Amino acid sequence: MVAVSNPPIAFLKGHGTENDFVIVPDPDNRIDLPPSLVAKLCDRRAGIGGDGLLHVVRSAAHPEARAAAETAEWFMDYRNADGSIAEMCGNGVRVFARYLRHAGLVGEGDLAVATRGGVKRVHVAKADAGGDITVSMGRALLPEGDVAVSVGAREWPARNVNMGNPHAVAFVDDLDHAGDLFTAPSFSPASAYPEGVNVEFVVDRGPRHVAMRVHERGSGETRSCGTGACAVAVAAARRDGADPAVTGEPVTYIVDLPGGRLTITERPDGAVEMTGPAVIVAEGTVDPHWIAPAP
């Protein structure tokens, strides 16, 4: 836990399609962020509130990103709301890029962001705060093997998709069949996801247009998940018999989420691109006495 004598922690709050984050700028990696403090900051009633936390660190200052420092100046040290670490966050990387631009830490043009899931290339459409942001998310991996997810008495076959982090994509008749999602859906076999999984429930809205809900590992049901939307688009494409690597043509899906819309394009070389908004909504300082109350 950070001692009360530490300098106050500056933070911002941002979201991408209402997947919201506490942003903690810490270029030199001086702030101790144990899981308990991350969970406290992400608490929606007693803290600032967020689905996750974006720790903004120079790659050269973080042991997990030092090797990428030549390519990507900044490292997105992403944490889930319960304090756990995840490899990648798609909405998070757009909000991260928006913050870097907002703070004047990067100039105009494309940028590279280091993540635990590799270096991601980011394109900010306009200089103003309203432009969409496109991220090249890398290739989707589709591990073989049958997977199933269940909620209560309902069970669905699911597609195992890895976008740097693990996903189980289930096509359902009605998004309400996923229930309240207050607890994590069950999955089988357990060996498919030794580190847990993000579960997407998907319905069709039209040609190459789907809607989804998601239960995120470490955060619960969220109003959007970028890596989840990418996993859904790739699973839907394969279900629909579309594979850009075979046809040589890119395939685009519109993915509607409770918090907004993302556009996902899979290219013939396998690269998956995600486009959507990213917004900074507030900034402030965390009271050090709240972090470490006097005994």
Residues near ligand LBFN2T5F, by CB under 6 A:
19, 52, 80, 86, 89-92, 165, 198, 216-219, 222, 225-228
- CA torsion angle for 162, 165, 170, 171 (degrees, to 10)? -70
**Contacting residues for 18 by C-beta, under 8 A, at least 6 apart:** 223, 224, 257, 258, 259, 260
Q: Which entry of 89, 168, 169, 184 is annotated as an active-site residue?
A: 89
Q: How far apart are CA 132 and CA 144, in angstroms?
A: 34
6 labelled as ligand-binding? no
25 or 218: CB nearest ligand LBFN2T5F: 218
Establish how many alpha carbons lie within 13 A of residue 83's alpha carbon, considering only the half-sphere containing its beta carbon.
12
Q: Is 40 exposed, middle or buried (0-12, 13-18, 19+ CB in 10 A)?
A: middle
Integer Cα distance of 257 and 234 in angstroms:
16
- Annotated binding-site residue? 198: yes
Quote the CA–CA distance of 59 and 7 in Å, as a whole number: 22
101 or 217: CB nearest ligand LBFN2T5F: 217
216 among annotated binding-site residues: yes
Among 158, 225, 229, 257, the one annotated catalytic: 225
Q: How far is the CB of 282 from ligand LBFN2T5F (least distance, A)?
A: 19
Whether residue 155 is annotated as binding a ligand: the answer is no
Q: Is 89 in the active site?
A: yes
Is 225 considered catalytic here?
yes
Structure tokens at 140: 């989707």
Say if residues 29 and 65 touch (Cβ distance below 8 Å): no
At position 115, the amino acid (one-letter code) is T
- Find where tokens 């997407």 sit: 200
Identify which of residues 218 and 277 has a Cβ nearer to ligand LBFN2T5F in the complex: 218
**162 annotated binding-site participant:** no
Give least dist CB 181 to ligand LBFN2T5F, A: 13
Residue with Cβ nearer ligand LBFN2T5F (52 or 138):
52
Q: Which amino acids are annotated catalytic?
A: 89, 225
Annotated binding-site positions for substrate: 19, 80, 90-91, 165, 198, 216-217, 226-227
